[in-house]
Structure 1
Amino acid sequence: MNQLRMKHLSPPFRTYVGSSALASIDNELGRTGCRRVVVVCSPSMRSHAALAKVEAAIGARMVGRFDGVRKHSPTDVVERACAALADAKADSVVVVGGGSAIVTARAATVLLAEDLGLRELCTSKRPDGTMVSPRLRAPKIPQWVVPSTPTTAFAKAGSAILDVSTNERLTLFDPKSRAQGIFVDPDVTLTAPVALIDSSVSNALSMAIAGLLSGVDDPIASSQLEGAVQAIGHWWPRLRSDPEDPEARMRLVLAALLSGQGSDHTHGGIAQVLGHTIGPQSSVANGEIEAIALPAAMRFAPSNAEFGYRAIARALGAPTAGAGSQRQTATDAVRTLLEPAGRRRLRDVGVGQSDLSSIADRLTYDWFFTNLARTITRDEVDSLLMEIW
């Protein structure tokens, strides 16, 4: 039997949850020396009293607000957010919202700190097909998050933005831009529409399952990822039965945190790549594409992923199966969990059959495609796309 050998480095991260979570925001801002805070959110957040609650908790430290966030974090919005930070002489950011707000703020802090244009800051593809990210050495102002959705974005160091001039997805990666922590307030979680929560949960589930099926032997990450799947399996159905349940919403935020942190130590999956590739080009969120692709994508795992299938089945309460049928048991359990989430085929979200070839071409430019647990051939990609179309 091989002896376990691993390295698991976890960045500092502080988590406050519940009706008193925001009471800690002033202490945390003071601890990190933040005196000039800019709030970043979407236009829709302005209509909710929860935003005023967050801003009151920040108090006199708040010097501005950028509320122009848009879906998929377009480059022009990132540039305007960066200008707002610069004009306010911000030394910190508090994000109120979901994935697009978090990513927009994170990308804006990178752009603010580095003396380069967005294109020069992004990951690029070399002629040999490998992906390379520039080293972004400048210090970044700290970011805190008050999440409205169960997004994995607050646990990550990357920022995926949409180039509005070319309609390309660009990626910035900088560990120094990672959030300091989250304040999970029940009133803020109640601002998100259920459809947006469903998309975020689908992404968190896809990320956790891809990590469990990556074949990486990291018991810490595996425990986080299995815990994420188990929590989603329990709290997502409860949210569907009572959409205004703040407990379910907050618990799903914590499931997304487990998924985001655990997956930092494993590999991504082809369902995520498809979400990244199709989502910005369609009328739906990335997570909805991942929900469509995930059951079919689960077969693309390395030969040592059997323990991952078993963990998924166990987390979702599926009956114990023999080694040969464990993959099917896990896949069926995931499909059952996803069934109430909505549309089940790409054609249902406006993807035409004639689009499939260009989707297969574009997905090779996604960083996650170069980091899959096992190589997927073009024929396999084409077959998968036809299956889920």
Structure 2
Amino acid sequence: MSRSFRHFDPGSRILYGEDCLGQLSAELRRVGAKRAVVFCGNTIARSEPGLETVRAALGEFCVGAFTGVAEQSPLPSVEAAARLLAERDADAVVAIGGGSAVVTARAASILYGEGGDIRDLCTVFTPGAAPKSPRLANPKLPQFVIPTTPTTAFAKSGAAVTVEDGRRLALFDPKARVQALFVHPAFLRATPWRLTLDAALDAFAQGVQGLESARREPLADALLIHGVRLIRQSLDDARDGDSDAARRDLVLAAQLIGQGTDFVGAGMASAIGHAIGARCAVGNGHAKAVVLPHTLVFNSAATQGRLAELANALEPGSGGDANALAGTCTAFFASLDVPSRLRDLGVPEEALPLIAADAAQDWFITQNPRAVSAADVVALLQVVW
């Protein structure tokens, strides 16, 4: 008997092309917005195309810019952005950048909408119990994004904010989803390839983990399998020469994977990658690429029979064995010159216990297809270090 499932698609609006920013003000008018604040980091604030390009496209709709976006969305940056939204009486946000820009804009909008201490708005992790996110009832500002990297954050409704000791605070509010995505080739083209690659590796790892899930269903499978296959194809093509088409397809693949994992979740590799990124200033994608082959093997007892379609999409004729898929992923990452050990990413051995503790407080650890203990995480980290 087939398993019951529910698939409620929140919908998305994606505009691609050199002329897509010409529709930005129309999209703001569609939601009744008149006072947008632009979010970006210092580099994009000084670049061309960049902040001034978007200001010109917004015209009178732009009432300010927050240029303090930083990697891993640190709490002081989010709080400063929320204050600016209040000062400018903003009714929309436009984020330029990758995951950090999207998450900072989303988290600031949640804090601005709810008020109070951000710690009171976060998901609570209690040992032995499922994570619990408070219901955030107030309206949120509509979100618009001009991407520079292929992050899955475009399709999500959560935000993770980093605090002083390296831990992440998780926020969740479906009202903070992106309203429209403006995929402009010049913004993608101007991004250093290392940042594009890291985001693509992150999306790839999420897609693979989504297909390990016991909650898989046909519509999510279609999104995830094609998204993972498109990343593999686009990164292979990019080795023969970077192209607008490859960068565009990576963004579209990340959108597919972001949507697919909304229904099935991720797992252990994402939890560990997030902890490494926040603690050690390492790109989440590279961290996940190091651990993913090992988590595939760890989960193999629980995922047998689920991975055949993915394995054959990545390596025709390879079968559905998790160990074979782990080998395919290892070879793929090696072809991209991605390190295979955490030490080669600059992760110090003494940080491993803290990384393990942080991973235990990550939403995705609860979605892993096989139950994970603290000892399991420590043991895996020691192997991959």
Identify the TM-score tier after normalising by the shorter chain.
Answer: over 0.9
Spell out structure 1 runs of 4+ moving beyond 6 A.
none
Aligned match of 1:91? 91
- Where does residue 338 of structure 2 map in the other structure? 342
1:381 aligns to 2:377 (yes or no): yes
- Greater shift, 296-305 or 356-365, is seen at 296-305
Instruction: Report the RMSD for the aligned CA atoms in angstroms.
Output: 1.7
Instruction: Find the aligned partners of 1:350 and 1:233 in 2 and give their Cα distance.
Output: 26
TM-score w.r.t. length of structure 1: 0.94
CA distance in 2, matches of 1:358, 1:141: 35
Q: Distance in 2 between matches of 1:67 and 1:108?
A: 13
Deviations 1:38-58 (A, max 9, x none): 110010002222223322222
With over 3 angstroms needed to count, the CA separation of the structure-2 counterparts of 1:21 and 1:374, relative to structure 1, is same
State the distance in 2 between where 1:334 and 1:104 align: 31
Q: Which residue of 2 aligns with 1:47?
A: 46
Aligned-pair CA distance for 1:380: 2.5
Counterpart-to-counterpart distance in 1, 2:122 and 2:202? 23
Q: Is the 8 A contact 1:202 1:290 kept in 2?
A: yes
What are the residue-to-residue correspondences of 1:73-92 with 2, within 5 Å? Answer: 73-92=73-92
Distance (Å, rounded) in 1 between the aligned partners of 2:158 and 2:216: 24
Query: Separation in 2 of the partners of 1:260 and 1:109?
Result: 20
Matched-pair contact (CA < 8 Å) for 2:109–2:141: yes
**Percent identity of the aligned residues?**
37
Native 8 Å contact 1:43 1:68 kept in 2: yes
Would the aligned equivalents of 2:72 and 2:278 in 1 still touch at CA under 8 Å? yes
- Separation in structure 2 between the aligned mates of residue 320 and residue 368 of structure 1, nearest angstrom: 28
Task: Check whether the contact 2:356–2:374 (CA below 8 A) recurs between aligned residues.
Answer: yes
Contact 1:107 1:159 in 2 (8 A): yes
User: Which residue identity lines up with residue 383 of structure 1 in the other structure?
Assistant: A
Q: Which residue of 2 aligns with 1:144?
A: 144
Deviations 1:52-101 (A, max 9, x none): 33222222211111111110000000011111111111100111111101
Displacement after TM superposition at 1:302 (Å): 6.5
- Tell me how far apart the structure 2 counterparts of residues 369 and 304 of structure 1 sit (CA, whole Å): 15
Q: TM-score, normalised by structure 2?
A: 0.95
3-state SS, counterpart of residue 35 of structure 1: coil
Match of 1:114 in 2: 114
- Deviation per CA, 1:315-346, whole angstroms, max 9, x where unpaired? 2133243x6xx223322221122112422211
In structure 1, what residue type is equivalent to 2:256?
A: L
2-structure distance, mates of 1:167, 1:351: 14
The one-letter amino acid paired with 1:60 is E
**In terms of mean alpha carbon deviation, does 298-307 or 81-90 score higher?**
298-307
Specify the alignment match of 1:268 in structure 2.
266
Which runs of 5 or more residues in structure 1 are unaligned?
none
Task: Give 2:353's aligned residue.
Answer: 357
How far the C-alpha of 1:388 sits from its partner, in A, is 0.7
SS at match of 1:274: helix
CA contact (8 A) 1:16 1:183 kept: yes
Counting only pairs closer than 5 Å after superposition, residues 181-330 of structure 1 correspond to structure 2 as 181-243=180-242, 245-301=243-299, 305-321=303-319, 326-330=321-325
TM-aligned CA distance change 1:346 to 1:200, over 3 Å: same
Task: Tell me the SS of whatever aligns to 1:134.
Answer: coil
Contact 1:214 1:301 in 2 (8 A): no
Structure 2: gaps spanning 5 or more residues: none
Match of 1:370 in 2: 366
3-state SS of paired residue (2:63):
strand
How far residue 382 of structure 1 moved from its aligned partner, in angstroms, is 2.6
**Preserved CA contact (<8 Å) 1:39 1:96:** yes
SS of corresponding position for 1:299: helix
